[in-house]
Every structure is written in C-alpha cells, then in structure tokens.
Structure 1
Amino acid sequence: MIDIYIFADYLNKKQKLFLFFQTYTNDEIAVSKQLGISRRFARYLLKQAGHYDRVRRAQKEYANLDKQIQSLSSIFSKYAIDGLIQYKDAQNDSYTKFMKDVGIQDDQILQLYITYKFGGQKGAVFQLEEFLLGMIRLKCQSIKDLKNLVPQLRQKIQKENKYRKLYSYFFKVMSQGKNVIRFTEAITLWDSLLNEQFKEIIDFIQFCKAKPAEFQNTTKVSFDLWCQVWKFFETIGSDYTKFDENDAWPLLIYEYVQFKTK
C-alpha cells in the first residue's frame, strides 16, 4: 500500500519541478522576444545569468556582448553568401573556405563538431546567429582564436566521447523533423561519423554502396535503423557469434551479417 505522505511529497516535488521548468520556459520566451533573438540564444544568456532576476541579467549579458557581436558579425559578412555561410555551388562555397581558414578542411569529424557547437540546423550552413552563438560559446573573438582552439576540441571529442551525441544530432539535422533520411545521405554520414569509432564500418559502407542504384535512391533510413546500426557495431562488431537472429535487428543488418558469414 502506498504511504499517503510519501505520495503527497512526491506530488509536491513534481509540481515544483513543473513550475521551475514553466518559469524557465517563460523567461526564455521573454528574453527571445525582448532582444529579437532565437530561444536557443536566449537559453544561453539565461544560463549565464544564474537563478535570480534572470531576465534582467540575461539582457545585461547580451548588452555586454555588443562589441563582440559587432566584431563577429563583421567576420561573418566576409564569408556570407546570400546571408549564409554555405556551400551553394563550386564557385560559391563559403563553408569550405571557412573550414579551410580554421585549418580543418580535411577533418570531417571536427567540421561536424564545430557545426554541432554552432547549432547548425541545416548541415553545412550557418546563419548569422548560429555563427555568433557558436563563437561566443567557444570564447572565440576571431578565426585565429578558433583555429588555435582546434587541438583542444579534438581532445574534447575523444576524452568525452562525443561521437554518439554527434551521431544523433546529425540525423535530426538531416531529417529536418521527418524522422527519415535518404539512404545515400546515411552512407555519407556513417562514413564521416563512425569511421574513427568502429573499424568494421568500412565493410558495412562497401556493402551499402553495392546495393542497386534503385534501392539506394528510393530507400529511406529511419531513426530506429540509424540507432540500431550504432548498437550493432558497438555490441557485435565483427564477432558474429554474438549475433542472435531472434533479436529484432533491422533487415539491413540481417542482410549484412548474411553477407559477411556466407
């Protein structure tokens, strides 16, 4: 039988937690509207403000960032094509130029990590506010600062094992809320995100690329399949004795195991 006092205490704590998050959300909306910035930027400012008089402190924090924002906006404008740092075509590719200036044009993981830190919501594209907030969060005043930070970012990825977070993040970015991505997009991301994590991924990518063109062009990869691919290489790898056909693995994984063990 449930102790009525324990249950009442549980409800009280739950209500307080709800009110806390409700207040936090209201503050976030207020700061966003008052300053004309995204809720993501407002969330960053509120985090810096602490727990008391948060909205006013967040506004003050934003005012303190004015000079840095102006300086970073000027840097952004040097790269911007139609108001974005982006790959538009071979002649209009400010994204690659930006990554080259940072010194990581050949390092896909670091490119993905910086895109993640900037909060890029469309893959290899940065809006002005994403660029501003990313540079501010990384405490970088210039491209040179970001370039000098690269070795630390690489260590951070490895030390804190950020690969799985990047893996989930980029699926959500590429799917744009549809919860599926194209098979060809998945192959490219598997190669970029898992190459350093699982050595067996090379064989899996070759297996996927060997699929008929019609299959590759029409097949969609769901978030469930996306997660199951990570789980497979994390738990099975190349030791197929661990593979249980009675487990609910996706068809693509079954076919891959059959391909490797036939």
Structure 2
Amino acid sequence: MDNYYANPPSTPTSATTSTSRAPDVKKIGALFDSYKGGHCPKNSYRRGLTLEVPLDSDTGNIGIDGTLKLCEDLGVNPEDVVMLAVAYELKSPGVGEWTRQGWVDGWKNLQCDQIQQMKAAIAQLSSKLSNDTDYFRSVYNFTFDFAKTEAGQRSIPVESAVAFWGLLLPAGLKGRALQHMDMKTGDDGETVYTASRDPGWNATHSELWSEYMNEKGGKGVSKDTWMMFFDFVRTIDAKFEKYDADAAWPSAIDDFAEWAKEKLC
C-alpha cells in the first residue's frame, strides 16, 4: 500500500483559531460513520512500505478506503506529510486507521465539525509542522509507534523508517522546525540549544542518510536511534567537522557520521 503518512503529549494541540461556537460532536461522529467501512487489496505503497491495516469495518474503525475518501474530500494528497500531523492529533493507532474516540476528540480539540473547517485546520497544521520545533518533535516522536505493524515491536523496518524520514525531514527543513542549533551543556548540567550561524543539515545530508540506511542500516531502526536522530539533525554542522564521536550517540549515527565525512569532503 502507498506509504502516505509517515509519544504524543496526552492532549492534542489545537491548530485552529477559536470559533463562536463549540464543535458539534454529533456532526463529527456522523462524519466518522460516513468514512467507516470498505475493502482494499493489500498492495505496496509508492515507497515500498507494506503495512498490515484494517481493510473493512470489522474493527469499528475507519480503514484505508475511508482514509482515501477523506483525503479526497479534504483536497490533500494521502502521502502529504501533514497527514502525519492529523494522525498525531487524532491519535491514529496506525497507517490508514482511525478510531471513533480519537476522531471525535481530535477534531473537537481542533474546533472542526465540518469539512471546510478541517481543510483550514490542516493548512495550519502544515505550517506549524514546518515552523514549530516542539510540535515537529511531537509528531516525529509519535511517528515511531505509528509506523509499527505489530504490538510490542521494539524497532521498525529500515525501509519504513527511511520512508517516514523522507516525509518528515523536508517538512522540517522547509521552515524553522529543524533550524541548525549549537548544543552545549550549561552550568546546571542541562543541555542548552542556541541558534547557530553556521550551515547545518540540508537535503544533501538527508539523501546521504537514506543511502546509508538502505545499504548499511540492517533490518530495523530502534527507538533510541529514531529519537536521537532528531537532535543529531538539528545540531550537526554541514561538514560533520564538529561531530563528537565520544558523545552518547547510537552506533548507527556514529557509523553514519564516519561514512558521511568521506562523502562530504
């Protein structure tokens, strides 16, 4: 199936401006029912990601067909990274799946009970994802569990991770979410981030990372590697000259840094 999406806080973050009335949960529930059900064959996604997803209404959730219809009504490409932000807001349990509780609570928090309002919310979520570092990180962290195909999985397949990085990194680099930062330890022992004037991670580095992971990344990406890669991207200099091999980076990042330095010379 198409890979069209790529630990959230307990409460979703509203992206819309306040409205004159509270959203109607009955209308939100009716929309959920209109998208629930349908069948879809198990194919491979454009990026080669195969996932087990609900294909009919047996679970009581919206499945792939309903998701595709939702995207059509919203005027959003199913592979647009903003759908990851929507999945985060609605607490989607996995690719192409939406529970009634998450759907109702999520859209209610976003102040939406009709399609036009949802379209406006999605536009704001897209901008927020690219420009708000904290929000980007929340969606990024959520994506690791979202990408799992089985309960209790401790890692996600490399091809899945690469696919989701392919969605997330360009979004963060487009705005300020992945702005290059200098990282140092303060007097209190806490890590301090300050905006850097030096060039940092860019699209070329993203391509190198994908190349490296596809060739040498093994079978799976651990949660530790996934989480710490975010800080690595934000703090590494363009030539990797300031990379600290003695820092507590996962081995996958250590090995990549050594491999990439030769490519960047």
Q: TM-score range by the shorter chain?
A: 0.5 to 0.7
Deviation at 1:110, TM superposition (A): 1.1
1:113 alignment counterpart: 85
1:192 is the counterpart of 2:167 = yes
- Name the amino acid aligned to 1:80: K
Contact 1:195 1:202 in 2 (8 A): no
CA contact (8 A) 2:130 2:171 kept: no
* 2:62 aligned partner, one-letter code: I
| Runs (5+) with no aligned partner, structure 2 | 1-9, 12-20, 38-56, 174-201
Quote the offset at 1:106 in angstroms.
5.5
Alignment of 1:164-243 (within 5 A): 164-175=137-148, 176-198=151-173, 199=202, 200-211=205-216, 216=218, 219-243=219-243
For 1:139, which of 111, 125, 131 is the aligned residue?
Answer: 111
State the percentage of identical aligned residues: 22
Q: Which has the higher contact order (CA 8 A, sep 6+)?
A: 2
**Distance apart, 1:195 and its partner CA:** 2.2
1:231 maps to amino acid? D
- The alpha carbon displacement at 1:210 in A equals 2.9
Name the SS for the 2:156 alignment partner. strand
* Residue of structure 1 in register with 2:75 after alignment: 103
Describe the SS at the equivalent of 1:181. strand
**Paired residues of 2:239 and 2:261 also in contact (CA < 8 A):** no
8 Å Cα contact 1:172-1:179 kept in structure 2: no
Corresponding residue of 2:249: 249
Q: 1:246 Cα deviation (Å)?
A: 2.2
Counterpart for residue 62 of structure 2: 85
Q: CA deviation at 1:72?
A: 2.2
Deviation at 1:242, TM superposition (A): 0.7
Amino acid at match of 1:100: E
Segments of 5+ residues of structure 1 without an aligned counterpart are 1-42, 45-63, 88-92
Question: Aligned to 2:117, what secondary structure does the other structure show?
Answer: helix
Write the distance in 2 (CA, Å) between the matches of 1:186 and 1:114. 19
Contact 1:207 1:256 in 2 (8 A): yes
Contact 1:166 1:193 survives alignment (8 Å): no
TM-score calculated relative to the size of structure 1? 0.64
Structure 2 distance, partners of 1:156, 1:185, is 24
Q: Decide whether the 8 Å contact of 2:68 with 2:78 is kept in 1.
A: no
Q: Is the 8 A contact 1:121 1:173 kept in 2?
A: yes
How many Å apart are 1:171 and its aligned residue?
1.2
- Paired letter, 2:209: F
Offset at residue 177 of structure 1 (A): 4.8
**Structure possessing the higher radius of gyration over alpha carbons:** 1
Structure 2: distance between partners of 1:151 and 1:224? 31
Greater CA deviation, 129-138 or 197-206? 197-206
Question: Hey, what does 1:39 align to over in structure 2?
Answer: none
Indicate which of 82, 86, 97 corresponds to 1:125. Answer: 97
Decide whether the 8 Å contact of 1:86 with 1:95 is kept in 2: yes
Whichever structure has more helix as a proportion of its residues is 1
Q: Evaluate the alpha carbon distance shift between residue 168 and residue 177 of structure 1 in structure 2; reply closer, same or farther with a 3 A threshold.
A: farther
In structure 2, the partner of 1:260 is 260
SS in 1 for 2:221: strand
Give SS of 1:202's match: helix
TM-score by length of 2: 0.63
Q: How many residues are paired up?
A: 190
SS at match of 1:221: strand
The verdict on how the C-alpha distance between 1:220 and 1:97 changes in structure 2, with shifts beyond 3 A counting, is same
In the TM superposition, residue 137 of structure 1 has moved relative to its aligned partner by: 1.0
Considering only aligned residues, what root-mean-square deviation do their CA atoms show, in Å?
A: 2.6
CA distance 1:106–1:80, shift in 2 (3 Å): closer
2:251 partner amino acid: L
Change (3 A) 1:237 1:95: farther
What is the correspondence of 1:14-93 to structure 2 with a 5 Å cutoff?
A: 68-81=24-37, 82=57, 83-87=60-64, 93=65
CA displacement 1:231-257 (0-9 Å, x = unmatched): 221111433111122223222223322
